[in-house]
Amino acid sequence: MSASQTAAPPLHFDLRTDTVRALNSRLHDPDGAGRVQVSNPDGRHAIAVGIDAPYEVEIDGHVGYYCAGMNKQATVRVHGNCGVGVAENMMSGRVIVEGSASQAAGATARGGLLVVGGDASARCGISLKGANIVVRGSVGHMSAFMAQRGCLVVCGDAGEALGDSLYEARLYVRGEVASLGADCIAKEMRDEHLEQLRALLEAAEVDADPADFRRYGSARQLYNFKIDNVGVY
């Protein structure tokens, strides 16, 4: 008998009859694991937040704000679009959005991988703290604002003020960049960066050549107070 034949059937939650609270309470079981299917999300907010167990969650439809926020260990896949703050403050695991994402996708995320199949709106990866984000489409303005660690990979274009006030995060963009933010500059693409980018594209199941991307990073001019700029401060 194959493993698939012996695997336990997935739990099923229909959010037209079940509550988001009931779903999240089940996903917060620290001893839990396995597959969970969620139908009819209908744009509800805070679905599958705060998970700290190796669940595999499949959400069939569009979700609202903060889906999969604070994720740890789990794999959450959204078969649709998502609202503001998907995977906000993610610690580990994977969040895959097959559609597009609204503002602040992956905000403050500390670990794990966020994949957006379409476009991501403004401030994608804001204050990124160690996670990796791969966007198959384009991102909006102020993406990677104050990003500290981790990577943002954009297979399309980037909007205005990319990487404004950037710290040590690495930004890879294949398309055009409308403008760079304060202290963000184009940087050399060395072998180590090509290898890192190749691994991220493979993990996100994106068929793209790393050589087609450009790298952007911090010029490190905002790290220290400068007396000559006191009038600006």
Please state which of the ranges 28-37, 70-79, 110-119, 134-143 shows the lowest mean pLDDT: 28-37
pLDDT digits (tens, 9 = 90+) for 65-82: 999 999 999 999 999 999
pLDDT of residue 225: 66
pLDDT of residue 8: 75
Q: Is the pTM of this model over 0.85?
A: yes
Average pLDDT over residues 200-211: 98
pLDDT of residue 231: 62
Query: Under a CB-based contact definition with an 8 Å cutoff, are residues 18 and 40 in contact?
Result: no
pLDDT digits (tens, 9 = 90+) for 127-181: 999 999 999 999 999 999 999 999 999 999 999 999 999 999 999 999 999 999 9
Residues of the chain with pLDDT > 90, as a percent, come to: 88
Average pLDDT over residues 197-209: 98
pLDDT tier for residue 30 given thresholds of 50, 70 and 90: confident
Two tokens at 48? 């599958």
